[in-house]
Amino acid sequence: KEAFPDPLGIGSSLSLGATVGAEVGCAALIVLGLATRGAALPLAVTMGVAAFVVDGDDSWAQRELALVYLAAFWSLAYQIVGLAGEQGILPFSELLDRAEEQAGYAAWWYLPGIFWFDSSDAALQAVTYAGCLFSILLLLGSFPRFSATVLFVLYLSLFHAGQIFLNFQWDYLLL
């Protein structure tokens, strides 16, 4: 019978209790909006210990990156056409046309991505679904370098397509 890991030397039972307390109790406090800053600290410590001490030699970072990409692409799948599609709030095809008029071929350097080939609603949607697929491949550990590279290119393309709607810290961290 395998005991719960004790990376801090406080005993297996106490480690289990602290972990459950943080992941259930502190998470409940955050969901309820009570003492959110104080509740976030034990969660952060628990995740740090799990990531760097318990699973330090595991591909946790790769799986975490895959899950973050999956969340980003999945949420964009429902939004991107309304935001940057042909009839969207800020149609990306119009921005590409203006950029090409002003900068010529140099516009590819200012707005890198795959939407220079096709910026239709179908292409925007297809990129979000492809991102979900490659996120799952990365999560499963299939072709990790290739999957991560494709995810970067796809998200970079969507980042430019989303214009001001994807101009937040979350989006910069994925690039």
pTM of the model: 0.66
pLDDT digits (tens, 9 = 90+) for 125-146: 999 999 999 999 998 888 888 9
Instruction: Using CB atoms within 10 Å of the CB of residue 130, give its burial: 0 to 12 exposed, 13 to 18 middle, 19+ buried.
Output: middle
pLDDT digits (tens, 9 = 90+) for 5-14: 777 788 888 8
| Structure confidence at residue 57 (pLDDT) | 57
Q: 65 Cβ partners below 8 Å, 6+ apart? A: 138, 148
User: How far apart are alpha carbons 147 and 131 in whole angstroms?
Assistant: 9
pLDDT band at 93 (very low <50, low <70, confident <90, very high): very high
- Torsions phi, psi of 37, nearest 5? -65, -45
pLDDT digits (tens, 9 = 90+) for 25-69: 888 888 888 888 788 888 888 877 776 666 555 566 788 889 999
> What's the chain's average pLDDT?
87
